[in-house]
Amino acid sequence: MPRTVLMIGSEAVPFSKTGGLADVLGSLPSAIARLGWDVTLVVPRYRGVIDGTSVGRLALKVGGYLCEPAFFEVPLGAGGEVPLVTGGRILLVDVPDLFDRDSIYGAGADYADSPRRFAVLARAAFEWCAARGTRPSIVHAHDWQGGLAAVYLKTFYAAHPVLGGVPSVFTIHNLAYQGLAEPDWLPRLDLPWSLFGVEGLEFWGRISLLKGGINSADLVTTVSPTYAREIQTPAFGAGFDGILRRRSEDLVGILNGIDVERWNPASDPHIPQPYTADDLTGKRAAKRAVLEQFKLPVDTAMSRPLVGLISRMVEQKGFDLLASLADELPVLDASFVVLGTGEPRYQDFWTSMARRHPDSIAVRIGFDEPLSHLIEAGADVFLMPSKFEPCGLSQMYSLRYGTLPVVRAVGGLADTVVNYAPGTRRRANGFVFDAATPEALLDALTRALAVFGQPRVWQRLQGVGMRQDHSWHRSAREYVRMYERLLRLRT
């Protein structure tokens, strides 16, 4: 019998993306399929997605809400540069009433019917399996939007002839997003009131779909070993540390990989000239292109370090620390290019910085994937001063593009970036600071800019990062090992 995994999540490249989860679900399924597993990833078919072959529809009723999800299938790896993977598919679930909307989750706050949207996603996935009599070996659900999948397996489907007893894995990509809703959603999701307790979904008088996932899954994983430890402490646990400590035996940290095909300076279609660790000429061409795109003075800026920042503009990413450095950043001997969207106060901060310092700071408010590739290639330094960082992908892209990351020592940043200090650490590949303070951030950035003036050291650090293996292959092997462990426990 082939081993099969049914993955359920809310966004996946190339169909939908608001953050790192989409990158993970765009890559991990293929990497697992390459290890011999049959993988089905189920994600919503949001507005604008036209991909997929129609493969059927079914009638579904969730807590009195009637709908008729239609399923569109895309082979895993379709459209990418990686060869198509046999034994893998993405099922896009089309329920226009729920998913054909202006934005993926809602502007500012989640859509009021979010519990229903993701309940329907999970139930559609399960009913698809049930209708075909195909029992997955493992269900692997992601983030709060996938939490209900684990809950349904332990409740609604516990005695189901096809799905009863299927073990589940729940992966936390970011504990800050908890899927909170009013308790009266329980009956509207076909869930019993008995789940409104500390062992179930109850969280400070409301329900949390994230908590449902954590408490119901057989194994819980998160996206870096350091974050797995951190979230069991009050400082990083966002109120969930006690819940996670109770499950510490079943909590595993597996570092994300990156899509090394899509993020490859030797073949990136979004940069003017390819380059490798052995020949960095193309990186200068990318720097010139970035400066031109951002209308910074090319002649002066080419010889100064270029600091890049691509991020959601939220406190998690350290934007409050950066906002405290309004006077210090412009006097550094560096130029800054910033790409992001997020909280208006941080957008306004960077817009006004760019207006006041047009020769050294430029900003683009918006989400622009091609431009993000160009910045990763063209910048010398990548700034990621996160308060917390479950894994972080951008610092790994930076390493691969020879762009030295300046990061805070938290979560996956601590697991991937090794600080450079003169005379130490042969594996150093960037600059790391500890305290979540503007001073510590400025100190690390200043250290980086000083080393930029020592080209031989700089190139050595670039070489270390560019030659590291951040591919999904290693992570996928760890996931498969974990799936197999879970199946052994069950037999």
Shorter beta-carbon distance to ligand ADP: residue 207 or 381:
381
User: Shortest Cβ contact with ligand ADP: which residue?
Assistant: 20
Residue 368 found at the interface with ligand ADP (CB under 6 A): yes
User: In this complex, which beta carbon is closest to ligand ADP, that of residue 324 or of residue 341?
Assistant: 341
CB 294 within 8 A of CB 337: yes
Least CB distance from residue 76 to ligand ADP, whole Å? Answer: 20
Interatomic CA distance for residues 110 and 365, integer angstroms: 21
Q: Does 367 bind ligand ADP (CB under 6 A)?
A: yes
Q: Is residue 185 helix, strand or coil? A: helix
Task: Name the segment binding ligand ADP (CB under 6 A); options: 18-26, 82-90, 104-112, 148-156.
Answer: 18-26
- Break the chain down into helix, strand, coil percent, rounded to 5: 40, 20, 40
Q: Which is nearer to ligand ADP, 339 or 461 (CB)?
A: 339
CB distance 264 to 400 below 8 Å: yes
**Sites for ligand ADP among residues 384-403 (CB under 6 A):** 391-394
- Which of 119, 407 has the CB closer to ligand ADP? 407
- C-alpha span between 132 and 299 (Å, rounded): 64
Q: Which stretch, 180-188, 210-218, 333-341, 431-439, contacts ligand ADP (CB under 6 A)?
A: 333-341
- Structure tokens belonging to residue 53: 């072959």
- The yes or no reply on residue 20 touching ligand ADP (CB under 6 A) is yes
Candidates 145, 372, 398, 403; binder of ligand ADP (CB under 6 A) is 372
Q: How many residues bind ligand ADP (CB under 6 A)?
A: 17
| In the complex, least distance from residue 437 CB atom to ligand ADP, rounded to whole angstroms | 21
Indicate which single residue of 199, 359, 369, 439 sits in contact with ligand ADP (rule: CB under 6 A). 369
With a CB cutoff of 8 Å and minimum separation 6, the contacts of 175 are: 210, 222, 231, 236, 237, 238, 240, 390
Q: Which is nearer to ligand ADP, 121 or 407 (CB)?
A: 407
Q: Using CB under 6 A, which of 264, 293, 341, 468 touches ligand ADP?
A: 341
Taking the complex as a whole, how short is the minimal distance between the CB of residue 245 and ligand ADP, in angstroms? 24
| Per CB under 6 A, 406 contacts ligand ADP | no
Q: Which stretch binds ligand ADP (CB under 6 A): 124-132, 301-309, 345-353, 368-376?
A: 368-376
DSSP string, 398-458: HHHTT-EEEEESSHHHHHH--B--TT--TT--BEEE-SSSHHHHHHHHHHHHHHHT-HHHH
- ∠ Cα 435 438 444 (to 5°): 70
Q: Residue 343 half-sphere exposure, CB side, CA atoms within 13 Å?
A: 12
User: Which pair of structure tokens corresponds to residue 262?
Assistant: 């899509």
What are residue 432's DSSP bridge partners?
A: 407
Interface region with ligand ADP, contact rule CB under 6 A, candidates 230-238, 264-272, 306-314, 323-331: 306-314
Give the Cβ contact number of residue 490 at 10 Å.
12
Alpha carbon distance 455, 459 (integer Å): 6
Q: Is 311 in the site for ligand ADP (CB under 6 A)?
A: yes
Binding of ligand ADP by 222 (CB under 6 A): no
Residue 272 engages ligand ADP in binding (rule: CB under 6 A):
no
| Three-state DSSP state, 11 | coil
178 token code pair: 């908890």
Q: Judged by CB under 6 A, which of 5, 119, 251, 310 binds ligand ADP?
A: 310
Window 87 to 126, contacts with ligand ADP (CB under 6 A): none
Is 196 or 367 the residue whose CB approaches ligand ADP more closely?
A: 367
Pick between residue 183 and residue 237 the one whose CB is nearest to ligand ADP.
237
CA 266 to the chain's CA centroid = 24
Alpha carbons 353 and 444: distance in angstroms, whole number: 21
Q: Which of 339, 407, 449, 480 binds ligand ADP (CB under 6 A)?
A: 339
Question: Minimum distance from CB of 223 to ligand ADP (Å)?
Answer: 8
Q: Cα-flanking dihedrals φ and ψ of residue 406, to 5°?
A: -110, 115
Q: Which backbone phi and psi does 91 adopt, to 5 degrees? A: -105, 120
Please state the φ and ψ torsions of residue 38, each to the nearest 5 degrees.
-90, 120
C-beta closer to ligand ADP: residue 137 or 394: 394
Vertex 133 angle, CA 129 and 134, to 5°: 60
Quick check: 340 binds ligand ADP (CB under 6 A)? Answer: yes
Q: Which CB, 372 or 475, lies closer to ligand ADP? A: 372
- Which residue from 247, 288, 304, 312 is in contact with ligand ADP, where contact means CB under 6 A? 312
b (16+ CB within 10 A) / e for 217-242: bbbbbbbbbbbbbbbbeeebbbebbe
Residue 23 in the binding site for ligand ADP (CB under 6 A): yes
Q: Does 254 bind ligand ADP (CB under 6 A)?
A: no
Options 187-195, 305-313, 330-338, 346-354: segment touching ligand ADP (CB under 6 A): 305-313
Cα dist from 92 to 2, 8, 32, 358, whole Å: 23, 11, 19, 44
Min dist CB 128 to ligand ADP, Å, is 28
Identity of the residue, 20 or 378, whose beta carbon is nearer to ligand ADP in the bound complex: 20
- Under the rule (CB under 6 A), what is the footprint of ligand ADP? 19-20, 23, 310-312, 339-341, 367-369, 372, 391-394
